[in-house]
Structure 1
């Protein structure tokens, strides 16, 4: 008999154990080993069967056991001590407060929007790297003391759970999640009624959502939930599952995340008497509609659209994780018209705002399409990719928004992602560090550097123990998967021999889009088979990953791997583990000796899984893409050579697969199995040490969040303050300036350029005086930046490797204003120059921001 509804009833805790409730609902436990150990000690068997979920433990543990613990003075003292430790963690000044005390101009609040958050496997609100990154961002922000609020949606089925059919095809199921059984609490008003967010929908309907709060250390994560009786059945299903449904369903989700998310932030900060966030951060374009809601707020307060947009842009940061245009959300413009209306009705989503102004923000080359990433870039003054290489890729991918600029001038920077060490580093490393160099934690860079003092034997012993832990977990999961696929206990004795704790273990786990090339390792199956079965230097390979439910191509790749791994002669050396999630990922990052990543360069934005492996002494074997392109140093792993420029994809895959096999056979395997008289692989262990002590500090999420704070949040705070002070004088001035630039720019041109002082045979460093007459079309000299641009000249007379030199205003001249630069030649070889004019205003983040550039008139 099937239940009509599922809900969770929590146990009544004895008074002496009341602190357990507080500890269970603050997700700091997910990265705080003493708290995890406390909950495990309540009932070790239930801890494992209950998926290591404190809330579930407290709901299912026997009352008699709780009474026994309440009478155990030592246990009660542990609870009280950990509650006190949590209170200290929540209250004490941390890095951010120290920066503010030292005079740094930093935000009073940051609202961080993401479509998914991977904080813990017990809160399955994530699908892959984007969500895990967002979760790590919140945890690091908490550790550093940032006044940040996370904003997203609560999906009643999360992302799907994956299993395999008998023939190796991916199957999906969507378990129903009960918010009351999760580490969440409702935002309620003074009468203890849920606070609801209201968002207008077409047909005079209203989408309502309540706000669940996941407390991530010091950081509140607000999750909007539409599954309430106040909504009709269609609107109740808006937050049903992550990345499900058609475009109509998805645009409703993104409207709720952006528009509803801002309203949830307002409700939360007002109820808790907190200052309104001074910076809004969009983690990808999914929540891009938040900019429109903030414009609506300011417009309702009396600002015109342009001034409101200027104020919103100044205080908004946009991060793109997308390396390919196909990864961007693009909606039919008519669908956006349907949901946002014409702005004339008070009941519309954005009353008073013209539809054409909305469409303008998401405009791309096809007028029938609304581009969410374009809207994010147009409504944020500061934007970044998530690795140095991805910053370069992003500048090229979005250069159509800056016509006339070289890609290198596009104002998109980069902050390389990081990972939260306390979440992803094995406790074995923390214990080793504590035994060897004291009790310093691994939250800061110095903790990892201390591992330089650990002996080679201790490093190898730790790596071997982690590999053994992984082998046990692989055997358990392989057996469970085989049972799910139809095997019986009687035919599964072979699973006890899967993997060997002494064999080099390679891991490959991630989402399964085509560009990540899950099956590159199978390009030469017999060559791979020979490595797996080598009697002297074998390798074992663990593979995991989920394909989007609608991606049959990705499912076919998984099936290809599974069918190879099902073969009797190799099934003890290669496995595919279904249902990849955070709980599985930890074992993989801890235990794999080598982390394999072979995307099609440069389509990996960052790829943080390899960072988590590095935190545990794993060596990366990767295409130089994403983070690995900038952090590979020759001692922390191997770079797979790429066949860049080869147009034929099959041939490129063949070449890069051959390079992968070659590295494994000639370098990776020999280093691992080359043992000294002491039984240690000395060269391997030193690479492990180098990875832990040199690469480890670079990949920390604490470094990433500091970078965002200093390079993006701080400047956005200052720009936002300048735009709103004196009754929005800055925003109004910027709006007026943009209107003047738009009107004048067609007439802005460089009419005359002269060079003086260049010798007959110029050498590097020779002095050159360059002057130019510029027609400004009614703008003043202070409204523009005039630059001399030098660069190497190719056969098409195009400049590359450019160097810019500012030109100073000298006064009026016939035909315009005169500008001059005295400079030394900065380049050798075939060199050319030109002059360009850009808008300039003190409230712009940079002169390229408005996407306007003018140069000499064509000859």
Structure 2
């Protein structure tokens, strides 16, 4: 393949002829390609798979992380130990392209690897690396760890993704109509284009679209503008010129705000998040329109087909048998990691996602007495499993994880698993009866894990946030904590309210239905499977991006 004059390797569906480059810090494509940390990557991976399904004219641009995010190992006492191991990928093709970009006023060499569509059934994808002999040691480390804790390394990573990705398209003579930033990490691409277009911001706006994933302003990244300038983030623009574009007088450069001012259009990742984002940014002038396209997950990758087949054939015996089989497969992993033998006849709750404060991993344990009662109920036995990767420098989240590990030593029906990546995520969605999701409202922009759980007959129990208001019908396809007046409640009161409601729904509705009215429970499972299959399949999402965002 001639990468100097690249062309799409498959024929394009004329409905999706707009030429798009999709920039993302992480992509969860397959268990074998460890270049992701969590939800942002799961979303981007599903998007690339659906782009392939629909034969859209889109390519993905990311970074080849030498050590991935991190490997989740254990200390001798079972607590969390982050480790970093070099990753090797024989299926990526060295494109034979190397070029330089400026980072910190110095030239840095960039090498590029290609993921062909037929490997994992994705759009064509390009991964950038600075880990080459021509670079000094510091430059080599830019692509070592996803979300590196060092601030200057992190900014260098954004420059590599944005500026490096935009330059790659030029190196390949591969013209794109749309530069889609999945979060603001790739924003240096906009400044690269601004320089290329001789400072014409309107020309940049014609090409740039932006997806925001953060529902509160404090969560959007800000860095010292002088540091960004010294790092060559702005492709030669002066600080005054950048401030004129960003429109803020202080010295904190707000990446998301600047993206909203340089893009033609932006979107939130659920309908509720769209509302929250428009309200949040409305106090600023000159920002682009913010639409909403609800996140989704690829049905073909995530859904258990035999489970759907038995549902469609109305074979309840086979449906229950298949679900039990999936539970047994998960419980082998539980036994291997923890030494606990779980029972496929017992109601099984799973909480699994990134460990972050607002997601409240250990909320059920805030009422120890009720938690003990739940796990020791002889009439309605329960098993519960946790998994998830805290950010390796988030010591509060690691402490929560380790606290759960310590607590699990007191129960044979409680387990905390490590290695929460695509494969384990799939096993947990297949093997759980209930997918527990209890973020603090309205902190969860979308929260896609419950979608792929529902594709495997796992019923959602959730606070009413993210995608849930668009999907949930309480008692029919899921169970939802009724919203309170969260805005006027303290965090303490909100946690107590949600905790009380979660236990009420578990004790009075969900668990009795599972044991006493199995046909009713099966109906909830199957309704969820039907409701999630089309509305929350990423083919729908990829189609909406073209129709609402890419095509002018």
Q: Say whether residues 1:360 and 2:268 are aligned partners.
A: no
CA distance in 2, matches of 1:705, 1:311: 25
Q: Which residue of 1 aligns with 2:114?
A: 213
The separation in 1 between residues aligned to 2:143 and 2:14, in whole angstroms, is: 39
Asked if the contact 2:265/2:288 (under 8 Å) is kept, the reply is no
- Shift in CA distance, 694/647, structure 1 to aligned 2, threshold 3 Å: closer
Kept in 2: contact 1:318–1:384 (CA 8 A): yes
Map of 1:199 onto structure 2: 101
1:218 shift after superposition: 5.3
**Separation of aligned partners in 1, 2:481 and 2:214:** 23
Answer whether contact 1:384 1:414 (CA < 8 A) is retained. Answer: yes
Match in the other structure for 1:422: 300
In structure 2, how many angstroms separate the alpha carbons of the residues matched to 1:111 and 1:658? 46
The one-character-per-residue Cα deviations of 1:374-423 (angstroms, maximum 9, x if unpaired) are 121111111000001111111122223238xxxxx982110000101121
Determine the C-alpha separation between the residues in 2 that align with 1:115 and 1:368. Answer: 25
Task: Verify the 8 A CA contact 2:212 2:267 in the aligned structure 1.
Answer: yes
Given that 2:179 and 2:208 are in contact with CA atoms closer than 8 Å, whether structure 1 keeps it comes out as yes
For residues 329-366 of structure 1, the C-alpha deviation after alignment (integer angstroms, 9 at most, x for no partner) is 2110111221339xxxxxxx735x444222333443x5
Note if 1:287 corresponds to 2:207: no
Secondary structure at the residue paired with 2:461? strand
In the alignment, what sits opposite 1:369? 252
**CA 1:506–1:377 in structure 2 vs 1: closer, same or farther (change >3 Å)?**
same
Match of 2:504 in 1: 662
1:163 aligns with 2:79: no
User: How high is the TM-score relative to the length of structure 2?
Assistant: 0.94
Q: Provide the C-alpha distance between the structure 1 equivalents of 2:149 and 2:372, rounded to a whole number of angstroms.
A: 41
Q: Secondary structure of the residue that 1:620 maps to in structure 2?
A: strand
Mapping 1:556-705, distance limit 5 Å: 556-567=399-410, 570=411, 572-634=412-474, 635-643=476-484, 644-675=486-517, 681-705=518-542
Unmatched 5+ residue regions in structure 2?
A: 2-7
- 1:222 alignment counterpart: 126
Q: What is aligned with 2:369?
A: 526
1:312 to 204, 212, 217: 204
Distance in 1, Cα, partners of 2:273 & 2:361: 21
Cα shift at 1:137: 0.5
1:544 aligns with 2:395: no
* CA distance in structure 1 between the aligned counterparts of 2:303 and 2:455, rounded to whole angstroms: 6
- Do structure 1's residue 411 and structure 2's residue 251 form an aligned pair? no
* More divergent stretch after superposition (212-221 vs 629-638): 212-221
Distance, in Å, in 2 between the alignment partners of 1:657 and 1:241 is 36
Q: Which of 374, 382, 386 is the matching residue for 2:265?
A: 382
Tell me how far 1:240 sits from its aligned partner: 1.1
Aligned equivalents of 1:130, 1:185: Cα separation in 2: 25
Partners of 1:177 and 1:419 lie apart in 2 by: 26
Corresponding residue of 1:137: 47
Shift of 1:428: 2.9
**Offset, 1:148:** 0.8
Q: Which residue of 2 aligns with 1:298?
A: 197
Q: Contact 2:434 / 2:459 at 8 angstroms: preserved in 1? A: yes
Which residue among 84, 109, 113 is the counterpart of 1:174?
Answer: 84
Q: Matches of residues 433-472 of structure 1 in structure 2 within 5 Å?
A: 433=309, 451-472=311-332
- In structure 2, relative to structure 1, the CA distance for the partners of 1:477 and 1:422 (3 Å cut) is farther
SS of 1:416's partner is coil
In the other structure, the counterpart of 1:183 is 91
8 Å CA contact 2:472, 2:478 repeated in 1: yes
Conserved in 2, the CA contact under 8 Å of 1:286 and 1:329? no
Cα contact 1:361–1:374 (8 A) shared by 2: no
How many residues align? The count is: 541
Aligned-pair distance for 1:314?
1.7
Q: Deviations for 1:89-123, whole angstroms, at most 9, x for unmatched residues?
A: 974x6xx61526xxxxx40x210000111111211
Matches of 1:557 and 1:624 in 2, distance apart? 23
Structure 2 distance, partners of 1:335, 1:400, is 26
In 1, Cα distance between equivalents of 2:180 and 2:487: 36
Q: Deviations for 1:624-655, whole angstroms, at most 9, x for unmatched residues? A: 10000211122111001344235332222122
Match of 1:350 in 2: 235
TM-score (structure 1 length as normaliser): 0.61
Q: How far apart are the structure 2 equivalents of 1:610 and 1:654?
A: 23
CA distance change for structure 1 residues 97 and 703 in 2, over 3 Å: closer, same or farther?
Answer: same
Alignment partners' CA distance in 1, 2:294 and 2:372: 37
Structure 1 pair 202–476 and aligned structure 2 pair: CA distance change class (3 A):
closer
Specify the alignment match of 2:167 in structure 1.
263
Aligned counterparts of 2:400 and 2:246: Cα–Cα separation in 1: 35
1:800-828 deviation per Cα after TM superposition (whole angstroms, max 9, x unaligned): xxxxxxxxxxxxxxxxxxxxxxxxxxxxx
For the pair 1:150 / 2:51, whether they are aligned, the reply is no
Give the secondary structure class of the aligned counterpart of 2:131: coil
Instruction: Indicate the SS of the match to 2:125.
Output: strand
**Quick check: 1:710 aligned with 2:550?**
no
SS of 1:600's equivalent in the other structure is coil
The CA deviation at 1:427 is: 4.3
Q: Output the CA distance in 2 between the equivalents of 1:462 and 1:547.
A: 32
Q: Return 5+ residue gaps in structure 1 as ranges.
A: 1-21, 23-88, 101-105, 189-194, 300-304, 342-348, 404-408, 437-450, 480-494, 676-680, 716-859
- For residues 227 and 417 of structure 2, what CA distance do their matches in structure 1 show? 40
What residue in structure 1 maps to residue 5 of structure 2?
Answer: none
